A and B are shown apart, each in its own frame.
Chain A
Amino acid sequence: MSEKYIARSEKVAWRLLDGEMIIMSALDSTLFNLNAVATLIWQAADGRTSLSEIVRGLICEEFDVDSDVAYRDAEAFVNELASHRILTMSDQPVASSGDRENP
Chain B
Amino acid sequence: MSLMEQLNRKALRLGVPLSVHLDVTYRCNERCEHCYLEHDDHGEMTTSEIGSLLGQLEQSGVFFLTVSGGEPLVRRDCFEILEVARSLGFNVKLKTNAVLVKEQEARKLRSLGVEQIQISVYSDRPEVHDAITKVPGSLLRTVAAIRFLKAQGLKVTVANVLMKSNFQDSSGVRALAAELGAQFALDPTITPMLNGDRSPLRLRITAAEVRSAFRDSNLVGDVDAFCAPPPPVDDEMHEGFPCSAGHTACYISPYGDVYPCVQFPLPCGNVRKETFLNIWKNSSQLREVRSIRGKDLPTCSSCAHLGTCTRCPGLAYMEGNMRGPSWADCEKSFLRTGIFTAGMLARGVVPSANVHGLVQIDQRQTL
Contact = CB atoms under 8 A, between A and B. Distances in A.
Interface in A13-31: 13-15, 17-18, 22, 24, 26-27, 29, 31
Contacts, number: 53
Contacts of B116: 29
A26 B7 contact: no
For this complex, into which size category does the number of interface residues on chain A fall? 10 to 19
Chain B's interface size range is 20 to 34
Contact of B63 (A10, A17, A29, A100): A17
A27 B152 CA distance: 11
Contacts of B346: none
Interface stretch (B85-93, B206-214, B231-239, B280-288): B85-93
Contacts of A38: none
A17 B248 CA distance: 13
Nearest to A9: B113
Contact of B61 (A17, A29, A103): A17
Interface string B1-27: 001101100110010100000000000
A98 to B, nearest CB: 12
B114 interface: yes
Interface in B300-321: none
B10 A101 contact: no
Interface in A41-81: none
Interface string A78-103: 00000000000000000000001101
Interface of A: 10-15, 17-18, 22, 24, 26-27, 29, 31-33, 100-101, 103
17 contacts: A11-B113, A12-B113, A13-B91, A13-B115, A15-B61, A15-B62, A15-B63, A17-B7, A17-B11, A22-B63, A24-B63, A26-B114, A26-B115, A29-B116, A31-B4, A32-B3, A103-B89
